[in-house]
Chain A
Amino acid sequence: MPDRQELKQRACAAIEAQRQQIVDIAKAVLSNPEPGFREQKTARLVTQKFQELGITPRQGLAITGVKGRVRGGAGLGPRVALLGELDSLIVNDHPHADPQTGAAHACGHHCQIGMMLGALIGLHTPEVLRHLSGEIVPFAVPAEEFIEVERRLQLRAERQVEFLGGKQELIRLGEFDDVDVAVMCHTASDMNEHKFAVGGTSNGHVVKYVQFTGLGAHAGAAPHRGINALNAASFAIQAMHANRETFQEEDIPRVHGIMTRGGEAVNAVPADVRLEWRVRSASPAAVARNSAVVDRCLKSGALAVGASVKITNIPGYLPMRNDQRLQDLFVDNAAQVVGKSSTLIIPARRNRGGSTDMGDLSQLLPVCHPYVAGAVGAGHSKDYLITDYQAAVVNPAKIMAMVVIDLLADGAAKGKEVIQEHRAALSKAAYLRLQRDLAQVVDYRGE
């Protein structure tokens, strides 16, 4: 029986042999960017690739998710999901933006699809797979970026989804009920000399869909008859800034948003102004505390001009918990692929400030969410480009395959240990209860 090192070499050789195909998959996704819950073409591509490997996936999970299942040849054991996020952002001026929709892969998710398929190719090699216990669950998941809130609320109203993030919705649908461990890698442009980084945490958040309702009137002839909803919103935003001094650094507070509607015509007093807002913080308690401050600010904006405000609070993501044992496996294998000096361990308390629905999953299962190099430019900006596909796709494909081999070879001893030692922060039922409690609508009339 080959040892794990031999299995890893076989998997990596298979990945290396398919290097061009894997990178091409990522680039095909790059050229066809689709925002969350709309990843039809991307999902089709994943399905096709699964089928080419002889895997018949389940499709249309949380609208666009594609989930495969590959049994190891060495008997039952843990079920390890390899996740890849299907969705793009919307960044109109990105060089790879879809000219119609403005969708663009300004966060490198296209590489995730490439590396997930790459790892699958490595593990699916018969002389590897037959030595693994348990199951490999390659899973292309929708809608990690929490954007297009108004559109997703429409999906919610149509009962196509309950939660607006892909993994949240998949948890609700039970699509992680048959998964024991989940791993993925995300590209990053702030790696300095490192090729691989793992550890740290991320912010939780709550999302707010805010509608200020004023009273329309001719802005020249009768402004005194109007109630300016844009003034209400502007005031509310200023009020948030005035509260920043009360936010505590250790909460890593991030309060930010956009105005999705700011008035219909310049000669009418704006009566319908909408915001999509986000309150991020390091803990659910801090999210709740800072969210209450923002709600107060939104109300004060309505009160300032006598408008009304409806705040739809939407459960966002939970902070990230990387499983220590999984993380150690990633570190060991990354060191083999990119070298020890290129592998960075991020302190557990270091919070990158952003949020991911992998955080939600991390409350339920042992997960790991490392970062890989290969990107340049500020994340979520027009400048975010993948310049090194070896680092961004091929290396993480190998590292993930190697981690899975560590988990599932030798009768899945390591995988079982990871599962046994892991303490879930929340049960699925507790998770759903927590998130559903956050989903509250505040109606306030300023008078």
Chain B
Amino acid sequence: MASREEIKQRAFAAIDSHADEIVGAAQTILANPEPGFREVKTSRLVAGKFAEWGIPFKAGLALTGVRGELVGGSAGPALALLGELDSLIVQEHPHADAQTGAAHACGHHCQIGMLLGAAVALMQPDVLPQLSGRIVLMAVPAEEYIEIEYRDSLRRAGKLEFLGGKPELVRLGEFDDVDLAMMMHTTSSKEEGQICISGTNNGTVAKKITFIGRGAHAGGSPHLGINALNAATLALTAIHYNRETFRDEDTIRVHPIITKGGEAVSAVPSDVRMETFVRGRTIDAIMDANRKVDRALRAGSLAVGAKVNIQTIPGYLPLKQDRVMNQVFEANAAALVGGSNVGHVSHRTGSTDMGDISHLMPSIHPYVGGATGLGHGANYVVEDYRLAVITAAKALAATAVDLLADGAAKASQVIAGHRPEMTRAEYLRFMRSLAKDQTFEAE
């Protein structure tokens, strides 16, 4: 029986020999960006590779997800490796789709590259039989929580229940037979090193708000109108008046936009719409801030005598990473890039649906360098594909080897030491309890 080190070297060799193909896949995806639940070409590319390599897979999960599976030489736990299919929409990005404005301004194309790289490594006949358990290769849709209007239309059409890819896959049972999960994300932050071990992330709920006033001629008879735009701007002000009550440690983020602000300047706006996220470090903190945001929205409508409809949509749960898995991963990262090039970040204030997975099973979500520019900005581009795809693929593959070799001793240890925050049933119940659609009269 080969040592773990020998297995890893075989895996790395496979990645190196497929390097051009893997990087090429990432760059093809870069050139064909597709936002969440619309990743048709990207999904087809992944399915094509799986088919080409003889990996059994299912496609069309949560509309565009692709799930392949590698079975080790003996029974054991199931480890999922995740890659996110979706792009953002950043019109002015140099690689934006001219028609749709879709662009990979968050590096997800590299995730598919590294997923394919890890797959090709772990499927090798001198690697896979040495592992116990299964490796679930998940190309997942819709991590970016955008196009809420569109996704809500999918929901109403019965095609989705949740608006994020991983929550929807959980609902569909695609994580039911998975015991551990990991993925990597690119970063442009130099201080995070070449590979960065990360801690927690904010969770979030999303809100769609409609202020319902009463139209009237803005010059001729404003006294007959009820100004929904005033309700909305006052609601924003009310939110600000609550910021001082947000605790530093809760890293609350409330950042609304107004998506409709009135029809014509000569009419009192009667239909004004807003979207916001309410993010926080813990579920309790999100719920507290969400309650204050709801109250502020009602205050805005009460101020001018408008109605307000508040739709609260479950977003993502805060990310919690498994300490032991991260230790295993960090050792592999240090071996690949040198210990001094491994960075650490304790908390990030963005959100990811990997947070949802982390409530159900031991999960990690480290970062890899290679990108420059501001995340989600027009200047976010991947410059070092060697690092962002090839090295990352090796880190994932090596960690999988550590977890599943030796009869999956390490994975079993991780699972034994992990207490999931929620069962799938509890998760679904909680997520569904977040979904609210309430209309408040001003009184």
A interface with B by C-beta (< 8 Å): 219, 223-224, 226-228, 231-232, 234-235, 238-239, 242-243, 245-248, 269, 293, 296-297, 299-301, 303-306, 446-447
Q: How far is the CA of A39 from the CA of B404 in the complex (A)?
A: 93
Q: Which of B240-271 contact A (CB under 8 A)?
A: 241-242, 244-247, 268
B302 with A296: CB separation less than 8 A? yes
CB distance from A259 to the nearest CB of B (A): 16
A247 with B223: CB separation less than 8 A? yes
Contacts A245-B227, A296-B442, A303-B298 given: A239-B246 contact, CB under 8 Å?
no
Q: Nearest chain-B residue to A219 (Cβ)?
A: B244
Q: How far is the CA of A143 from the CA of B226 in the complex (A)?
A: 39
A242 with B230: CB separation less than 8 A? yes
Q: How far is the CA of A293 from the CA of B443 in the complex (A)?
A: 11
Q: How far is the CA of A304 from the CA of B233 in the complex (A)?
A: 13
Q: How far is the CA of A303 from the CA of B245 in the complex (A)?
A: 15
A224 with B245: CB separation less than 8 A? yes
Q: How far is the CA of A232 from the CA of B230 in the complex (A)?
A: 17
B interface with A by C-beta (< 8 Å): 218, 222-223, 225-227, 230, 233-234, 237-238, 241-242, 244-247, 268, 292, 295-296, 298-300, 302-305, 442
Q: How far is the CA of A219 from the CA of B245 in the complex (A)?
A: 10
Q: Nearest chain-A residue to B249 (Cβ)?
A: A224
Q: How far is the CA of A269 from the CA of B242 in the complex (A)?
A: 12
Q: Nearest chain-B residue to A230 (Cβ)?
A: B241
A235 with B245: CB separation less than 8 A? no
CB distance from B255 to the nearest CB of A (A): 18
Return the contact of A446 from the options B222, B223, B268, B299 (Cβ within 8 A). B299
Q: How far is the CA of A80 from the CA of B299 in the complex (A)?
A: 53
Return the contact of B245 from the options A226, A242, A447 (Cβ within 8 A). A226
Q: How far is the CA of A297 from the CA of B222 in the complex (A)?
A: 18
B302 with A300: CB separation less than 8 A? yes
B241 with A228: CB separation less than 8 A? yes
Residues of A contacting B: mostly: helix
A224 with B246: CB separation less than 8 A? yes
| Chain B residues whose C-beta falls within 8 Å of the C-beta of A242 in the assembled complex | 227, 230, 233-234, 303-304
B244 with A300: CB separation less than 8 A? no
Q: Nearest chain-B residue to A240 (Cβ)?
A: B303
B299 with A223: CB separation less than 8 A? no
A243 with B299: CB separation less than 8 A? no
Residues of B contacting A: mostly: helix
Q: Nearest chain-B residue to A289 (Cβ)?
A: B223
CB distance from B201 to the nearest CB of A (A): 21
CB distance from B213 to the nearest CB of A (A): 11
CB distance from A149 to the nearest CB of B (A): 24
A239 with B303: CB separation less than 8 A? yes
Q: How far is the CA of A226 from the CA of B227 in the complex (A)?
A: 31
Return the contact of A223 from the options B222, B244, B305 (Cβ within 8 A). B244
Contacts A296-B303, A446-B295 given: A246-B234 contact, CB under 8 Å?
no
Q: How far is the CA of A447 from the CA of B295 in the complex (A)?
A: 7
CB distance from A239 to the nearest CB of B (A): 4
A234 with B241: CB separation less than 8 A? yes
Name 24 A/B residue pairs within 8 A (Cβ), A-sorted: A235-B237, A235-B238, A238-B237, A242-B230, A243-B230, A243-B303, A243-B304, A245-B218, A246-B222, A246-B227, A247-B223, A297-B303, A300-B234, A300-B302, A301-B299, A304-B295, A304-B299, A305-B238, A305-B241, A305-B242, A305-B245, A305-B295, A306-B292, A446-B295
Q: How far is the CA of A231 from the CA of B296 in the complex (A)?
A: 12
Q: How far is the CA of A304 from the CA of B302 in the complex (A)?
A: 10
Q: How far is the CA of A232 from the CA of B241 in the complex (A)?
A: 8
B242 with A300: CB separation less than 8 A? no
| Chain A residues whose C-beta falls within 8 Å of the C-beta of B300 in the assembled complex | 300, 304
Q: Nearest chain-B residue to A234 (Cβ)?
A: B241
| Chain B residues whose C-beta falls within 8 Å of the C-beta of A223 in the assembled complex | 244-245
Q: How far is the CA of A269 from the CA of B161 in the complex (A)?
A: 43
Interface centre among B227, B233, B302 (most CB of A within 10 A): B302
Closest 4 CB pairs of A and B: A239-B303, A304-B299, A304-B238, A300-B303
Q: How far is the CA of A262 from the CA of B272 in the complex (A)?
A: 33
| Chain B residues whose C-beta falls within 8 Å of the C-beta of A228 in the assembled complex | 241, 244-245
| Chain A residues whose C-beta falls within 8 Å of the C-beta of B230 in the assembled complex | 242-243, 245
Q: How far is the CA of A246 from the CA of B225 in the complex (A)?
A: 7
Q: How far is the CA of A234 from the CA of B244 in the complex (A)?
A: 15
| Chain B residues whose C-beta falls within 8 Å of the C-beta of A231 in the assembled complex | 241-242, 244
| Chain A residues whose C-beta falls within 8 Å of the C-beta of B298 in the assembled complex | 303
B222 with A303: CB separation less than 8 A? no
B241 with A235: CB separation less than 8 A? yes
Q: How far is the CA of A248 from the CA of B302 in the complex (A)?
A: 20
| Chain A residues whose C-beta falls within 8 Å of the C-beta of B234 in the assembled complex | 235, 238-239, 242, 300
Q: How far is the CA of A224 from the CA of B298 in the complex (A)?
A: 20
Q: Nearest chain-A residue to B442 (Cβ)?
A: A296
| Chain B residues whose C-beta falls within 8 Å of the C-beta of A235 in the assembled complex | 234, 237-238, 241, 299, 303
| Chain A residues whose C-beta falls within 8 Å of the C-beta of B304 in the assembled complex | 239, 242-243, 246
A296 with B305: CB separation less than 8 A? yes
Q: How far is the CA of A350 from the CA of B93 in the complex (A)?
A: 63
Q: How far is the CA of A224 from the CA of B252 in the complex (A)?
A: 12
Q: How far is the CA of A446 from the CA of B303 in the complex (A)?
A: 12
Q: How far is the CA of A235 from the CA of B243 in the complex (A)?
A: 14
CB distance from A289 to the nearest CB of B (A): 10
| Chain B residues whose C-beta falls within 8 Å of the C-beta of A234 in the assembled complex | 241
Q: How far is the CA of A39 from the CA of B244 in the complex (A)?
A: 46
| Chain A residues whose C-beta falls within 8 Å of the C-beta of B302 in the assembled complex | 296, 299-300, 303
A303 with B223: CB separation less than 8 A? no
Q: How far is the CA of A321 from the CA of B247 in the complex (A)?
A: 58
Contacts A242-B233, A246-B222 given: A303-B241 contact, CB under 8 Å?
no
Q: Can you add 11 more A-B contacts, CB < 8 Å, to A227-B245, A246-B227, A304-B242?
A: A224-B247, A228-B244, A235-B234, A235-B241, A238-B237, A246-B304, A296-B305, A304-B296, A304-B300, A306-B292, A446-B299
